[in-house]
């Protein structure tokens, strides 16, 4: 090993040589490595001097591997591949089977948690961790298995499956509707107390958008209760604080339990959807695939059940 250290002054030189041999260009190698072209040339000269062999033939605006360079490149490339595989194996630590699901507080409380018993019954050995977030995160960068995102399902770097089509009702508690005149039309809603969702990071429909979808003007005068988390909006609505917008896939179970009530039969289908997503460049572990498939199946079953 001391002889190797004598011949190869720095492991960095090997990385530089591998990139140069692969790209056959000192300039492009410098761009990939994020260093200057003279720094690449110096590293190659130093490794050639230590080995005592020319590894490249320098030509006008081009380089090619010598016979010695070709032999050395093949060995280095194969060694790097073996090192990468070993690193991947070592990286499969005891937490490799841990499945992390990145979701909002409301989706965690009102969609996932009521179904957790069924998940544990179907997959008792799965360790599912819920990561509650207030903004969309880079799953691969954050080492997160799965996430829920609102949109059209066309995010670069992700595969996705539709969980629910976005459909919004006006909902309130039975107590609120008992204490206030029940609206008979969209226009009748206007004098009521509204609960507003004002998320700081993710775009979400406003009451103005909801009314506009029915051709009704709504002027937001800054009144009503304003909250930055949808779980709090639902809690406030169940407490009788006013009328909230209810995402059907989130409030279905609460409506079935009569904790919330649709104020009107009309709903707004926005054209947006909620998707389960996962990074397409990283293979999901088997437990993560099982959780993914379980969520997709639960969503399929839920879509078959309409509100009473």
Domain ranges of the chain: 2-91, 95-164+273-303, 165-270
- Please say whether the structural domain 165-270 has been given the CATH code 3.40.50.920: no
d(CA 124, CA 110): 21
pLDDT at 308: 43
Average pLDDT over the chain, rounded to whole? 89
Percent of the chain predicted with pLDDT > 70? 93
Domain 2-91 identical in fold to domain 165-270? no
Looking at per-residue pLDDT, the higher value among 83 and 207 belongs to 207
Residue 96's contacts (CB-CB under 8 Å, 6 or more residues apart) are 285
Give the range among 25-34, 93-102, 174-183 with minimum mean pLDDT: 93-102
Q: Which CATH class is domain 2-91?
A: mainly alpha
pLDDT at 101 over 90: yes
Domain topology for 95-164+273-303: D-Maltodextrin-Binding Protein; domain 2 (3.40.190)
Percent of the chain predicted with pLDDT > 90? 66
d(CA 184, CA 193): 16
pLDDT at 140: 83
d(CA 7, CA 251): 68
pLDDT at 201: 84
At 241, give phi and psi (nearest 5°): -80, -10
The winner for highest mean pLDDT among 115-129, 136-150, 231-245 is 231-245
**pTM reported for the whole predicted model:** 0.67
| Under 8 Å between Cβ of 257 and 191 | no
- pLDDT band for position 204 (50/70/90)? very high
pLDDT at 192 over 70: yes
C-alpha pair distances (Å), 238 with each of 85, 257, 306: 53, 11, 21
d(CA 132, CA 105): 6
pLDDT at 51 over 50: yes
- pLDDT band for position 84 (50/70/90)? confident
pLDDT at 143: 86
pLDDT at 134: 84
Give the range among 109-113, 186-190, 209-213, 300-304 with minimum mean pLDDT: 300-304
Give the range among 72-86, 115-129, 145-159, 193-207 with minimum mean pLDDT: 72-86
């Amino acid at each position: 090993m001391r002889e190797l250290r004598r011949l190869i002054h720095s492991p960095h030189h090997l990385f530089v040589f591998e990139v140069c041999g692969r790209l056959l260009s000192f300039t492009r190698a410098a761009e990939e490595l994020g260093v200057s072209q003279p720094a690449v040339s110096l590293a190659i000269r130093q490794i050639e001097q230590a080995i005592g062999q020319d590894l490249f033939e320098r030509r006008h605006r081009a380089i090619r591997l010598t016979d010695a360079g070709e032999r050395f490149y093949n060995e280095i490339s194969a060694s790097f591949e073996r090192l990468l595989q070993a690193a991947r194996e070592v990286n499969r630590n005891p937490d490799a089977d841990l499945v992390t699901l990145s979701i909002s507080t409301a989706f965690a409380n009102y969609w996932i948690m009521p179904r957790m018993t069924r998940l544990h019954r179907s997959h008792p050995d799965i360790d599912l961790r819920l990561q509650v977030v207030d903004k969309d995160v880079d799953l691969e960068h954050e080492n997160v298995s799965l996430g829920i995102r609102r949109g059209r399902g066309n995010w670069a770097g992700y595969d996705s499956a539709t969980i629910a089509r976005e459909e919004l009702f006006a909902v309130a508690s039975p107590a609120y509707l008992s204490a206030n005149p029940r609206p008979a039309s969209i226009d009748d809603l206007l004098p009521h107390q509204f609960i507003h969702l004002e998320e700081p990071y993710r775009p979400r429909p406003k009451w103005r958008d909801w009314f506009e979808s029915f051709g009704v003007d709504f002027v937001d005068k800054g009144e009503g209760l304003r909250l930055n988390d949808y779980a709090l909006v639902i809690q406030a609505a169940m407490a009788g604080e006013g009328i909230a917008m209810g995402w059907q896939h989130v409030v279905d179970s609460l409506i079935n339990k009569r904790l919330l009530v649709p104020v009107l039969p009309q709903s707004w289908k926005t054209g947006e959807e909620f998707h389960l997503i996962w990074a397409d460049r990283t293979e999901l572990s088997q437990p993560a695939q099982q959780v993914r498939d379980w969520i997709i199946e639960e969503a399929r079953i839920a879509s078959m059940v309409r509100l009473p």
